[in-house]
Structure formats: structure tokens, C-alpha cells
């Protein structure tokens, strides 16, 4: 997979950022199905808005203890008690689920829902499964940590990785319907996440 040199180039639809650039203060949710490009989208938005001179912060509710991308170093912090005059991007896969959400969904000024079609979603998953197998860890959960043996390229992890994939695919349409129903009464935009040979791009 080739890399795109500048993260903001992943945003292919100018309307995605047209509503954000005039703002000086906003709390923006990034949510969607698991393994759909949400973190890449968050980083691309952060990069774009920061490079346009805005005061911006970003957070990942998954609270990974290890850095997956250099920009994610800025995510290893707690949400502030009060949101200042900045733009905040908050990624939270559980946002449409009240009892697991980092913030109540009504607290956001705008919601971006990242949604790949089935073909792209499978490609995201295949890449992730390969990475999990190589690293020996899979299916991160903030309250449980990583699954897997921790041994690189360990065949003992294959069954767990495949089961995680099959479970998500089996529940994909149900979860999608539930999520979209949860956000329909709030300002939101559906972001089409597309897998390419350069990685995720967004429309």
C-alpha cells in the first residue's frame, strides 16, 4: 500500500471542510462502524484544519496506550472539563450507544459518520487482520485490552482474528441502522470512506 504524503489530501470532497473552516469553536464527533477509516479521517481533518491556522485538538475514545500514527501522540490526554474557543475532533465508535458514549450525542455541534460500502469495509478489515496477525494482538477493547497471544505471526491467533471479522460483518447492517437512527435528529454528515491502493480516502 502506497502512502499519501499529506494526510489532508485524503479528503476528496471539499464540502467536508467548508462548514468547519469558518468556525473558531466547535465540538465535532467522528463515529461510524468499526474498522472503517475513522482514525485516518480524524487525522486528515486535524491536519487540514491545523494547517489552515485554526486552534484545534483531537481525541480518540479508544484510548490506545501505544501510538499508531505520529499525530495520535496528541490524543493521549483526557477530555477537558470545559471546551475552550477551539475546534475539537472527538472520535468515538460508541457515541450512538448512550451507556458507552464518551459524551452525550447532543453535546456535539456536528457529527461525521464514516461509512464504507461493503467492498471497502472488507478491504479495511483484510488489511487490519493482516496487521493483527503480524503483531500477535487483535480486537482492542479499552476495558479489556488486547486479545491474542502477543507473539508475532502466531497461528494460534488466526481463529480469534477471523471470528472478530465474521462477527462484525454479521452485525454490520444492524449496527449501521441503529447508529443512523441514533444520529438522525442531530446535525450530521455521512462520509463515504473508500479503500484505495494509497489507503483510505473520503468523500
Q: CA-CA distance, 103 to 90, in Å (whole number)?
A: 9
CA distances (Å), origin 47, targets 83, 128, 135: 20, 23, 28
Asked if residue 2 is part of any domain, the answer here is: no
Q: What is the CATH number of the domain that holds 21?
A: 3.40.50
pLDDT for res 61: 86
Asked if 183 and 176 touch (Cβ cutoff 8 Å), the reply is no
pLDDT for res 70: 74
Backbone φ and ψ for 8, nearest 5 degrees, come out as -65, -20
CA distances (Å), origin 53, targets 28, 86, 202: 18, 11, 22
pLDDT for res 1: 46
Q: CA-CA distance, 92 to 105, in Å (whole number)?
A: 10
DSSP per-residue letters across 109-159: SEEEEEEE-HHHHHHHHHHHHHHHHHHT-EEEETTTEEES-S-TT-GGGHH
Classify 109 in phi/psi space as left (phi over 0), alpha (psi -120 to 50) or beta. Answer: alpha
Asked if residue 47 is part of any domain, the answer here is: yes
Backbone φ and ψ for 84, nearest 5 degrees, come out as -85, -170
What are the residue ranges of helices labelled H in the chain? 15-18, 38-51, 118-135, 158-183
Asked if residue 1 is part of any domain, the answer here is: no
pLDDT tens digits, one per residue of 63-106:
666 656 777 877 877 888 899 999 999 999 999 987 889 999 99
Asked if residue 63 is part of any domain, the answer here is: yes
Domain containing residue 60: 7-202
Low-confidence ranges of the chain (pLDDT < 50): 1
Residue with cell 456536528: 110
3 Cβ partners below 8 Å, 6+ apart?
198, 199
Asked if residue 197 is part of any domain, the answer here is: yes
Taking residue 69's Cβ as centre, other Cβ atoms within 10 Å add up to: 12
- Structural domains of the chain, count: 1
Asked if residue 22 is part of any domain, the answer here is: yes
Amino acid at each position: 500500500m502506497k502512502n499519501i504524503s499529506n494526510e489532508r489530501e485524503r479528503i476528496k470532497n471539499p464540502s467536508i471542510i467548508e462548514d468547519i473552516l469558518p468556525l473558531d469553536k466547535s465540538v465535532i464527533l467522528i463515529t461510524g462502524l468499526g474498522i472503517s477509516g475513522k482514525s485516518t479521517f480524524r487525522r486528515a481533518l486535524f491536519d487540514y484544519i491545523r494547517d489552515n491556522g485554526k486552534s484545534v485538538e483531537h481525541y480518540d475514545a479508544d484510548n490506545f496506550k501505544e501510538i499508531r500514527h505520529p499525530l495520535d501522540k496528541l490524543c493521549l490526554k483526557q477530555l477537558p472539563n470545559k471546551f475552550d474557543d477551539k475546534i475539537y475532533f472527538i472520535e468515538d465508535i460508541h457515541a450512538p450507544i448512550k451507556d458507552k458514549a464518551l459524551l452525550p450525542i447532543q453535546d456535539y455541534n456536528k457529527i461525521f459518520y464514516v461509512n464504507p460500502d461493503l467492498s471497502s469495509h472488507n478491504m479495511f478489515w483484510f488489511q487490519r487482520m493482516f496487521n493483527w496477525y503480524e503483531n500477535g494482538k487483535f480486537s482492542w477493547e479499552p476495558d479489556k485490552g488486547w486479545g491474542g497471544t502477543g507473539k508475532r505471526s502466531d497461528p494460534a491467533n488466526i481463529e480469534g482474528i477471523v471470528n472478530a471479522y465474521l462477527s462484525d460483518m454479521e452485525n454490520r447492517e444492524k449496527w449501521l441502522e441503529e447508529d443512523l437512527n441514533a444520529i438522525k435528529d442531530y446535525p450530521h454528515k455521512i462520509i463515504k470512506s473508500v479503500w484505495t491502493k494509497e489507503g483510505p480516502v473520503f468523500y
